[in-house]
Structure 1
Amino acid sequence: MGELVGAVGEAVAVAIAAGAATVPVSASMLRAAVATDPTHPRATTIIGELSIHSAEFRRLWARHDVKETVHGRKPFRHPRVGDITLDWDTYPLPGNPGPFLLVYTAEPGTPDAERLQLLASLHATRSRRPAPADDTATRA
């Protein structure tokens, strides 16, 4: 459960920091994520931190809205490719409590798809760089 709570909690924090309209949905998703174990140490830490730093989160948390969302749209701001909005879907995996696969996609032919492809290319290029040579053998 810790990974799910951490991921959703991070999404809530980012949304709050950006003043995003997604904060209410993110807060209700966090409530759904912690429903299986509301006293989990990671859950209480994340909820406590968000409550301390955001009056909006405190107000939303007090509403007790629960929303188990399986798809949506999420805006990102990446330092190398700029603003990009991606669709996301979750797919359940075997296990209890429910691990899931989170998949981000962009509509083909859109500027978001082009930015996502650019991001993939930048990552692939960075991953293919040769490792620095170990010159300890030549120093002997």
Structure 2
Amino acid sequence: MMKCVVMGIGNPLLSDDRAGIEVVERLEKDGVDVATEAVFTVGFEVLDKILGYDRAYIVDACVLGQKPGTVHEVGVEDIFTTPLLSGSHAMTLGTTLKTGQMVFGDEMPKDLRIILIEAETPTEFSNVCTPAVQAAIEKTVLRITEELAAAQAG
């Protein structure tokens, strides 16, 4: 049986930035049979939580200039090289995952699915997401649930 984890990244106190965490909370509430993790940073804690799994979904909010609520699926190379998702003084998700692949190799999930939800208000204090992001959360939960069911059936 495939070992899978869904990780939500974000700040639970910032409106749309909490999108990844809300995906995890919904999966837990719905009783979906999958390991879940919520993390608040993109440092090495991310690696600690995904090592040893066959598949990992990583869900986070982003600001890439698209319509709020747009769902992007990207690869490690995409976020490793995207200037908007990197900086010189902080560990980015792309850098963390690339480091994990280089250092841990076979312990990293072979199937790594990075899902980014375009935020509208990522820096406003609120414990709820905007309607566009909430709709994207619902879509993402449904997608993950369906993919997990297909993997278990196949």
Greater share of helix residues, 1 or 2?
1
**Highest Rg: 1 or 2?**
1
TM bin (shorter chain): under 0.3
Q: Which has the higher contact order (CA 8 A, sep 6+)?
A: 2
TM-score by length of 1: 0.27
